Amino acid sequence: MLNVTMLRINTLDSIKDKYTVKEYSDSRKAQSNQDIIRCPSIQDHIRYVENNMLLNCPVTKADVLHAEDILRPHLGSLNSKTTRNKLSHVFMNTCNELPKGMLVEHGNITLAVDIMNIIEILFVMTTSRAIHFGTE
């Protein structure tokens, strides 16, 4: 017995075929409008359009919904809207390899650490608050 699995992939062309040329063009206008008003969520964009909050706006609710279906969720409206849990502080009481006078001169040193992503390469960035010394 053969076990066959089929996978259906919706491409832009197959989705575009459901709409007329004018509907596709209007959906591009809706997405451009979403860029201009700083990428609100789809619900907010629809509310702005329905309540005439945007003067001389040629975009309708249907255009916004078509843009969502054809062009998929706009990445600009998803970026910077994820929630981040605040991490707890890490306290360390060890002083390995510090210059002799640093602990006496500066007392407690607060170190800020962050992870930076550049072209999918992760870097650990640190800086101290009192002596303004940074590392990569």
Residue whose tokens read 């916004």: 64
Which pLDDT tens digit goes with each residue over 85-117? 677 766 666 656 666 777 677 766 677 788 888
Among 31-35, 51-55, 92-96, 123-127, the minimum mean pLDDT is found in: 92-96
- What span, in angstroms and rounded, lies between the C-alpha atoms of 73 and 34? 11
Half-sphere exposure of 59 (CA within 13 A, CB side): 31
pLDDT at 63: 92
- What span, in angstroms and rounded, lies between the C-alpha atoms of 28 and 34? 10
β-pair partners for 114: 125
β-pair partners for 126: 113, 135
The 10 Å Cβ neighbour count of residue 3 is: 4
pLDDT at 132: 62
The letter for the amino acid at 79 is N
- What span, in angstroms and rounded, lies between the C-alpha atoms of 44 and 8? 32
Among 45, 51, 50, which residue's Cα sits nearest to residue 33? 45
pLDDT at 4: 63
Torsion angle of alpha carbons 90, 93, 97, 99, nearest 10°?
Answer: 110
Asked if pLDDT for residue 38 goes beyond 70, the answer is yes
Residues counted in the chain:
136
What residue spans define the domains of the chain?
12-78, 83-136
Asked if pLDDT for residue 78 goes beyond 70, the answer is no
